[in-house]
Amino acid sequence: WVQERVVAQRRMAFAEELLAAERMRADAEAARDAEVLSEAIDQIAEIEERVARDRLGSLASDIARVRRDDVPAAARRLMAAHASSRRVLEIQFEGESGFGTGVTQNFYSCVANELQRAAADTTAVGADGAKRPPVWLGAAGGDGG
């Protein structure tokens, strides 16, 4: 109960900042401005993360910097290197100051978009001329190898 009270007090401290970010999000949704919407979502996630950090403490994490123009390849490398880790993987884009849950969520959204795009690409073929399987399937069709 005391912990919930502390969280409520911290949330109130961030209430004005959160309200401005939510207003920014609503305006961006109304204007269909994806860039501003993404920024607003990042801000909201950062505020919520600060509140949660007060409640739970900080979790150990690894931070990876990736280039926005290299998301699919970076995702493959990061998943291979980080798969056995129990630490949280956080992403920061090179040349950008954003950091935290919102940026990391944006990275995974970009990965998901690339997977969907690749799955819908009916013209993708390998070097041998055969139709390429979706990115998440191995050459054997599902067992990764």
Q: State percent of the chain over pLDDT 70.
A: 70
- DSSP type of residue 96: -
In tens, the pLDDT along 112-125 reads: 888 888 777 666 66
Output the pLDDT for position 30. 94
Q: Report the DSSP beta bridge partners of residue 62.
A: 89
Closest CA to 64 of 93, 44, 28: 93
In tens, the pLDDT along 43-94 reads: 888 877 776 665 555 556 788 889 999 898 899 899 888 888 878 888 989 8
In tens, the pLDDT along 62-76 reads: 888 899 998 988 998
Angle between helices 15-31 and 2-13 (to 10 degrees): 60
- pTM for the whole thing? 0.48
The number of beta carbons lying within 10 Å of the beta carbon of residue 20 is 13
Confidence tier at 142 by pLDDT (50, 70, 90): very low
- Average pLDDT in the 17-33 region? 90
Q: Please, are residues 69 and 96 in contact by the beta-carbon 8 Å criterion? A: no
**Complete DSSP assignment for 24-90:** HHHHHHHHT-HHHHHHHHHHHHHHHHHHHHHHH-PPPEEEEEE-GGGHHHHHHHHHHHHTT--SEEE
